Structure formats: structure tokens, C-alpha cells
Structure 1
Amino acid sequence: MDRWLRVAKPWALVALAGPALWLWGLALADRLGANPAEALIRGLGDWTLRLLCLTLAVSPLRRIMGWTALAGWRRGLGLWTCGYALLHLVAYAWLDQGWAAHALLADVVERPFILVGLLAVLLLLPLAATSFDAAIRWLGAGRWRRLHRVVYAVAGLAILHFFWVRSGKQLYGDVIVYATVLAALLGWRVWDAVSRARGRVPAATGR
């Protein structure tokens, strides 16, 4: 499995551009329904959540299944998560607000879910910027790990943002699915941290 994971990684990471290209293509062709701007914004947001779940699943799967090569996937998945979050923000700022700074500011102030989503994106930026080996050496492993625990806050803010978006139409099914998956992944991390503190398992690096 490790050999297959190493071979598949570059192809899989390149393929992750596909959903964004597909959504933007459908939007430009006016094939996203009656409200293509909303469909594009929400589609990019959905992919951000999916990729966040995949990124957080790397460490549990690596530990539980013994797939050590999965560690090499974490950086790419994390960068794609940030990339889709930025595309989600760009689509909203462009197609929903027309790049009008005053309208953006008013929306952030008036609608809490916009503020929460913006905070999640802003917190992802330093994680993406410090995901490289040079940043780990510069910060030191301990400080780097502490910084990247911010991903827990990102996950919480992302779910809260998603809940508020869906609550407008009382669509909670997918919110429950994502919240359950993220709660399980974060719960595993709490268990792992407690276990390491008690000296039962070796320390793991990364997010």
C-alpha cells in the first residue's frame, strides 16, 4: 500500500484541481442552474470542507492502518484546502459583492456567518505559508506543531459557517455528516495527545 500511495500521490494532487475547474467551467457556461453564482460559491465551499476532512484524516489513517507514505499527502491536501477556501472567498467577493469594499465590510458586520467564514480562511493562510520544510526549521518543530493546532479552530469555524449557511433553508443533513466526521477526527487527536502525554505511544509530527 505504501508503494501505491507514493505513486498515486502526484496524480491525485493534480486531479484535485478538477472540481474547481469543473465548477468554474459550468459557471462560465451558465450551466449551474438559476443562480450560478450561489452554486459556484457553495460548491467551492463544499470542496473546502471535504479537503479539510481528508487533511485531518491523514494522521489517524497513517497511525491506525500503518500507511506511513500517507504522511507525504498531508502537505498537498492542506495546501489544496487553503486553495479552495481562497477560491470560495474570491467567488463570494467577486460574484456576490462585485469587489465593492464597502459592501464586503457591511456584509461581514451584518451577517455573522460571513465573519466566521472569513476568520477560517484567514487562519488557514499562516498554516499554508508555514507548511514547508524551511518554515519548520525556522520555527522549530515545537512551535510549528503549536501553530498548526490552529487547524482545530479552523474546523470549528468551518462547521459553524456551514451550519449558518444551511440553516437559512433548514438543510441540516450534510451539516450533521461533516460535523460528525470532523468531531471524530478531532476526537482522535485529543485521544492521541492524551496517550502521548501518558507515554503510551510515540509522538507524531504534522497536522
Structure 2
Amino acid sequence: MTVVDHLNSTVRKLPTWGLYVVGAVYPAWLLYQGLTGGLGVDPVKVLEHEMGERALQLLILGLAVTPLRQFTGVNLMKFRRAIGVLTFVYVFLHLLVWLVLDVQILSQVWADILKRPYITIGMAGFVVLLPLALTSNNWSVRKLGPKWRTLHKAVYGAALLGGVHYVMVAKGFQIEPLVYLGVTTALLALRFPKRRGRVQRA
């Protein structure tokens, strides 16, 4: 048995709910850090940034599941839906911190969405993810049938919007946001040769 086989065998034994538990612990820990002074002089900004960056990392992880299986044989498919749900939760928390703790004034929130392109793009990404989160359940999979997979391909657009949002939020030239956007673009690009091959065979 190869290393990949051993790894896949171990993954199959891990419960999916464990990922939700781990995902819930991190925001709770951040909130505790913020309340006890562990996030520095501007805990709201740190909390907002951390939730947004972790959400983008989860988006990338979700995109990487299929290529990881195709190119290495490592199968994390059983966790993909959980990763997607946690991604939305983190995006929602990122948005909630901005709305409730940062801006606070409803009229200012709407003005920022309209006037600040990076916020417009971020909100667009949230809107794209919303129907995906609402249909991330077994009932929706059965009800929608083949349309479910088509709908959930919208995550590709959400990932790009998230990457662009992070690049635009960053002040000045920063490598890290560009790396995130580059990795996201690369993971999406891996899907195109397969599609072209299907067209040629057809």
C-alpha cells in the first residue's frame, strides 16, 4: 500500500463533523483574543482581516480538492462540502464584523458599497456564495439534480472576486494578496484543458 493509499484510508475514517468543530473554534478564539486585548490596538480590523483571509484560504482549499485528487491521488472529496460551508460562514463573519463593529452606520454601509470598488467586489462575492450555502444540503442535491453541480460552479467566480477583493484592499504593493490571486487563477486554469479535450473528442 502506497503513502497515498494510507493517507486516503486515514481520511476515510475521519468524521466530517470534526472539520466543523475545528472551523468553529478559530473564530471563537479570535473573539476571545479581541475581548482580552490579544489582538492589539485595533482588534476590529484584525478580526475583520483574519476572517476574510481565512475565508479566502478555505475557498482556495475547496478549489484544490479536485486537482489534488487528479494529480496526486489524495482524496479529500468527503470534506469539500464542509469546506464550502465553512468558507461561507467565515465570509459572513468577515462581513458581519465590518457591518456591526467597523462601519456601524447603515447609510454609510450602503454608500461604501456603491463608492468603494473593493467593497462592491467583496459584496458581489458574498452574493454569489449565498445561494451555494443555502443549497449545501442533501435535500437540495436531490431536488436540483444535475442543476446542483451547475449552480455550485459559481464558486469559481466567487473565488476570483475574493482574490481581487483582497488585492484591492491591500495598501500599496503587497506580494501576499497577489499570491492568493495567482494560486486561485492557477487552480481555475487547471480545469480548462480537460474541457478543451472533451470538445475535441466530441
Using the size of structure 1 for normalisation, the TM-score is: 0.87
In structure 2, the partner of 1:45 is: 52
Change beyond 3 A, Cα 1:133–1:32: same
Q: Which moved more, 1:10-19 or 1:113-122?
A: 10-19
Change beyond 3 A, Cα 1:179–1:18: same
Change beyond 3 A, Cα 1:171–1:38: farther
* CA positional deviation for 1:132: 2.0
* CA positional deviation for 1:94: 0.7
In structure 1, the partner of 2:108 is: 103
Q: Does 1:79 align with 2:85?
A: yes
**Of 144, 149, 155, which aligns to 1:145?**
149
Change beyond 3 A, Cα 1:158–1:75: same
In structure 1, the partner of 2:4 is: none
Q: Does 1:163 align with 2:170?
A: no
* CA positional deviation for 1:2: 2.0
In structure 2, the partner of 1:61 is: 68
* Conservation of the 8 A alpha-carbon contact between 2:47 and 2:97: yes
**Of 127, 130, 133, which aligns to 1:125?**
130
Give the secondary structure class of the aligned counterpart of 2:112: helix
Change beyond 3 A, Cα 1:9–1:198: farther
> Where in structure 2 are there 5+ consecutive unaligned residues?
1-6
* Conservation of the 8 A alpha-carbon contact between 2:164 and 2:181: no
Change beyond 3 A, Cα 1:9–1:51: farther
In structure 2, the partner of 1:178 is: 180
Count residues in correspondence.
195
